[in-house]
Amino acid sequence: MKCGQIGAAAMPGIRRAGVIVEFATCETVQRAGSMTPRVDGFFDPTTSSISYIVSDPETKRAAIVDAVLDFDPEAGRTMTGSADKLVAAVETGGLSVEWILETHVHADHLSAAHYLQGKVGGRTGIGAGVIEVQKTFCALFNMERELATDGSQFDRLLSDGETVPLGSIAGRALATPGHTPACTSYVFGDAALVGDTMFMPDSGTARADFPGACVDTLYDSLRRILSLPPETRLFMCHDYGAGGQREVAWESTVAAQRRDNIHCRDGISRESFVATRRARDAELAVPRLMVPAFQVNVRGGRMPPPERNGTAYLKLPINVF
């Protein structure tokens, strides 16, 4: 096995977003049956990220996944407008938040997990591989004196297959590393939230060129997701509208991805995937918010500790990335 692999135009079958406004909520999906959660997606146009509230219609228990903390890098200022939309949806729906989950340590937005926990409660969770990510970026940002690299910033470090209960709905963590070592998908009944590992069929898959990433492992993780039942609903963390060629969308199915995904549909070999992914990654720029995002997100959405003047500072490593 290589670098930690874990084993083996029109887009049919895809649910599109409704009207996209400043911070839009997608079509809400709610089906009959206790194993089918309600999934609400919230699109942030600034980062092209989708945050989710997953809830059990019977018990009103809920999980928030991949929440965005707004950040203005030019001014160095955080804002909570996006996160407050989630708080309002929780309150309006009469939901009780049990989990605030991260699919991985994000490079393109700051996490609102810590802020939301103070507003709606719940336990924070992330894949157990976050410890490896913390060690990598602790060294890159010279944070050894200020950052514990044991995952203690999160309430739960979730191992592959670990149960993540949500009211009457069975949930579990599915380790899907490759994009980062901490990448974890969350399967709740017939829905799977796959983070950045997979995109919509016309957009392919996540990049695998960050420190600690592995393209071979990413291939294995994609096959794990595609081994779920064909009717499984898949929810993405990002969508860019295929470069403006279509509306923003973030829900697909295993069947649609196996048939149509340009990078990993059935019939594409490991060798072909690796070559395609590496060629694509060589063309990609560093994400605009990567430097501040990594420093905040390895801390579970917290800023670095304030200095003597009471102000927190983010580092900018020179000629590193």
Per-residue pLDDT, averaged over 161-183, amounts to 96
Instruction: Give the pLDDT confidence score for residue 144 in this predicted structure.
Output: 86
Distance CA 46, CA 72 (A): 10
Q: How confident is the model at residue 147 (pLDDT cuts 50, 70, 90)?
A: very high
DSSP string covering 121-140: --EEEEETTHHHHHHHHHHH
Q: What is the pLDDT of residue 151?
A: 97
Sign of CA dihedral 101, 106, 108, 111: positive
Residue 34: per-residue pLDDT? 54
pLDDT of 155: 98
Cα–Cα distance for residue pair 117/26, rounded to 1 Å: 23
**pLDDT digits 0-9 by tens, 220-236:** 999 999 999 999 999 99
Going by pLDDT thresholds of 50, 70 and 90, the confidence category of residue 3 is low
Domains and CATH numbers, the chain: 19-292 (3.60.15.10)
Q: In whole angstroms, how far apart are CA 61 and each of 96, 113, 122, 123, 155?
A: 5, 17, 10, 13, 18
Band of residue 145 on the pLDDT scale cut at 50, 70, 90: confident
* % pLDDT > 70, the chain: 89
Could you give the angle at the alpha carbon of 31 between the alpha carbons of 25 and 34, nearest 5°?
115
**How many CB atoms are located within 10 Å of the residue 276 CB?**
17
Maximum Cα interatomic distance, the chain, rounded to a whole number of Å: 59
Tokens of 18: 């409704």
Per-residue pLDDT band for 25 (boundaries 50, 70, 90) equals very low
SS3 content of the chain, % helix, strand, coil (to 5): 25, 25, 55
Q: Is the pLDDT of residue 24 over 50?
A: no
**pLDDT above 90: residue 32:** no
What's the mean pLDDT in 39-63? 97
Across the chain, what does the average pLDDT equal? 90
* pLDDT value at 162 more than 50: yes
Q: What is the pLDDT of residue 243?
A: 85
pLDDT digits (tens, 9 = 90+) for 61-95: 999 999 999 999 999 999 999 999 999 999 999 99
Q: How many CB atoms lie within 10 A of CB 298?
A: 27
Q: Give the per-residue pLDDT at 8.
A: 36
Mean pLDDT, to the nearest integer, of 239-256?
A: 94
pLDDT value for 244: 86
Does 99 have pLDDT greater than 80? yes
CA-wise closest residue to 40 among 24, 56, 29, 32: 29
Pick the more confident residue, 9 or 43: 43
- pTM of the predicted structure, to 2 decimals: 0.89
**Higher pLDDT among residues 248 and 23, named by residue:** 248
Mean pLDDT, range 3-21, rounded to an integer: 38
